[in-house]
A and B are shown apart, each in its own frame.
Chain A
Amino acid sequence: MAVISIKNKTKSGSLLVGNTPFELGNFESISTTTLTTATASVTFSSIPATYTHLQIRYLAKTSRAAVNDYAKLEINTDTTTSNYRSHTLSGDGDSVYAEAHANAIEIGGFPGNTNADMFGVGVLDFLDYANTNKYKTIRTLDGFNQNSASAGTGYVALQSGLWMSSSAITSIKFTSGTSSNFVANSSFALYGIKE
């Protein structure tokens, strides 16, 4: 059953069986970048502080001549690597891995360019991104699959990232971890979620 608040002009729903599907009424598209040529980095800048959370959804790969690659995040043009940390729980079809990355937020769900039309996908959540009283934490679900039993051709991960700054996030930059390019048809979409 949906609940409509006249006072607050909001509508909410429940996930309980039989109820009206929950509707994220305040999930809005902010900006999208779809590449038509190979590009070294993708940046969302001038991100408004008017949302509570951000989400980035991507479909992408890099030009690296290998089955896999990864991306690094840079926030607010902060190049001080000691301000970044990340952790990964991942599987590649053979084993499960737990990793820590000092000095970077690494996102692993990016294949290289050994298969032309196989892309990786990911969903990144930036929670409470404009709160100036806390460091910023990011969570992701990302991966790629290249229909192969060879090592490294499949990857799925849950990852978390930390930017040790209390500044509101106003820009987010993706670069390849191996200094490769993101290839044409890669797409990154930024959304804002309001309470």
Chain B
Amino acid sequence: MPVTYKPIATQTLGSAAGTVTFSSIPATYTDLVVVSNYQTNAGAVTTLQMKFNSDTTANYSYTRFYGDGSSVASSRAVRTDNIAGIGIIDSSAYMTNIAQINNYTNTNTLKTTLSRTNSSGTYLGAYVMMWNSTTAITSLALNILSGSSFSTGSTFTLYGIKAA
């Protein structure tokens, strides 16, 4: 059987960047996985965002739960909040996020992203984020809600998984 889990593109930041974009994503896979290992200059707790197809309008909502070592909590944002949250950012040295985007080219369904978020300092949690569009995903952009930047050395890899 053919290998079905392949890296499509990877980016290692040579300098700080406010946004990391994967564009021209081929439609030849079934699911996408985005693996991010990053540091930021945020300095305070904020949110990692993932937006699709250059859509920055109020088309995103999420539900999450997380723990900080002493307590747990759950919260949400609806479309009017316009936050495409997939992870928590704090002042940790490096943080990891793995996001799963199933059936990203299916034009009959809205797009839902599942993610696990881990910081080396404080937080771990899980997110489910919906993009209110049936359009196939052809590009995705990661940024930080507060407007901070990803630091030099942060890595981002986009994988494609193809079902038989």
Contact = CB atoms under 8 A, between A and B. Distances in A.
B100 A141 contact: yes
A26 B1 CA distance: 9
A96 B7 contact: no
Given A58-B102, A191-B4, 10 more contacts: A15-B35, A18-B155, A22-B7, A23-B5, A27-B4, A30-B1, A57-B161, A91-B72, A109-B128, A143-B126
B114 A156 contact: yes
B78 A147 contact: yes
B31 to A, nearest CB: 6
A17 B155 contact: yes
Given A141-B116, A145-B62, A156 B127 contact: yes
A111 to B, nearest CB: 10
Contacts of A58: 102
Interface string A127-170: 00000000000000111111111000011111000000000000
Contacts of B2: 28-29
Contact of B76 (A28, A93, A118): A93
Nearest to B71: A96
B102 to A, nearest CB: 4
Interface of A: 15, 17-18, 21-32, 57-59, 89-96, 109, 117-123, 141-149, 154-158, 185, 187, 189, 191-192
A149 B127 CA distance: 16
Nearest to A120: B112
B102 A149 contact: no
Interface string B1-22: 1111111001010000000000
B73 A143 contact: no
A59 B35 CA distance: 20
Interface of B: 1-7, 10, 12, 30-31, 35, 37, 61-66, 72-76, 78-79, 100, 102-103, 106, 108-110, 112-114, 116, 126-130, 132, 134, 153, 155, 157, 159, 161-164
Contact of A123 (B65, B78, B114, B155): B114
Contact of A59 (B5, B109, B161): B109
19 contacts: A21-B157, A21-B159, A22-B157, A26-B3, A32-B30, A57-B161, A57-B163, A95-B74, A119-B109, A119-B110, A122-B114, A145-B62, A146-B130, A147-B61, A154-B63, A156-B65, A187-B103, A189-B31, A191-B161
A94 B106 CA distance: 30
Given A91-B65, A147-B61, A156-B114, A29 B74 contact: no
A18 B47 CA distance: 25
A108 to B, nearest CB: 11
A183 to B, nearest CB: 10
Contacts of A94: 74, 76
